[in-house]
Structure 1
């Protein structure tokens, strides 16, 4: 009879670990709470130089082509071609392709919707829906007293619930969550009327301005806010040890 073999299987990560890993891959996870955010960490948060190009170029392609030609088909297909090119470049350079695949999926859905309806402004409808859903999710998290930024920071610091009993930390993550509500509300408030009045070219311009630059600025503000409370708590703990 053969002896039982030891179980070499790695235990599956817990749900909280899975969420924490996802948060670290997101922009806010690029700086440890309590540390000073730097320009380099901000660039990493938006995917580095490559991520910045991949975020901006498809929208820029739509804007330039639609402004010059006012032709829907090439205007929405050009970003799809650009996004496919990003996947090819990543595959050739043996870089992770999932960020580019995700980008292609979003661009392709937007293009398909615009081609189906024949309305150039519908190329921006998925983004408007995402902004609206984001506002709802953030507001619900505030109403139930679990601000979403607090959940993310708690997972990153390994303190999934303790921050709720610390008044300073709770106040900071509450303010930070409201800031993100403001970001998505600003986008929706500016882009919504342009969509309703069928101003596709203006939508393309506004989305570029309120996209990556505003997102990066909000990440910076969030880091600074979180640092005021979580950095202070870290220093106190070190002083007591």
Structure 2
């Protein structure tokens, strides 16, 4: 829950897509739908500012909604509200597959960079965690899991996009958004927790000697 911003983070992540799809189904008017969606995103940002809470999450949400609305408006097609999401999924798949080919599992590299940020001695930094067999295998599995999530989103949602089923597409996007994201984070933690803990213990023992 902390990773996805708690209950409020879940609500704020789901609201833009939910409001867009409901407004479009009710009004059938793209311009009205866009106006409602944009107002909702801006209100989230203003609410955080008034409450003096961090605004980066809400600000990024406004930018994401604005980008999606621009796509939909210029193409005059409500389906294209979801097009940037497809592009993002494809980009992640390509990046993570490339990392697997290079034998530097992308999710593992992200976790290790968060643990030990480095801008020099990159080779030694890589060897420090890639040489740990159980940890490397866990990172490989987790990276494959995330590739599967992004691929599943495309497999399920692209046919709805092509066949112009906007309501079903919006519903699938909501279900496969934060809920699936949270589930994959949890499974990733289950896979990585033990080998990462053992790796950390080994690091501490090496520093003692």
TM-score by length of structure 2 reads: 0.89
137, 141, 145: which one pairs with 1:175?
Answer: 141
The higher-RCO structure (CA 8 Å, 6+ apart) is: 1
Name the counterpart of 1:147. 105
Supply the RMSD in Å over aligned alpha carbons. 1.7
- In structure 1, distance between residues paired with 2:41 and 2:29: 20
CA contact (8 A) 1:58 1:79 kept: yes
Say whether 1:130 aligns with 2:88: yes
How far apart are 1:218 and its partner, in Å? 0.4
User: Is the helix fraction higher in 1 or 2?
Assistant: 2
1:98-137 alignment, distance < 5 Å? 98-137=56-95
Aligned residues: 199
TM-score by length of structure 1 reads: 0.78
Q: What is the SS of the residue equivalent to 1:45? A: coil
- In structure 2, distance between residues paired with 1:104 and 1:195: 23
Name the counterpart of 1:229. 195
CA contact (8 A) 2:132 2:199 kept: no
- In structure 2, distance between residues paired with 1:164 and 1:59: 39
- In structure 1, distance between residues paired with 2:92 and 2:111: 18
- In structure 1, distance between residues paired with 2:131 and 2:26: 56
Say whether 1:193 aligns with 2:193: no
Q: What is the SS of the residue equivalent to 1:96? A: coil
CA contact (8 A) 1:58 1:78 kept: no
- In structure 2, distance between residues paired with 1:90 and 1:237: 41
Query: After the TM superposition, which of the residue ranges 76-85 and 205-214 deviates more from structure 2?
Result: 76-85
Q: Which has the larger radius of gyration?
A: 1
CA deviations on 1:220-241 (whole Å, 9 max, x unpaired) are 0111111121123345566896
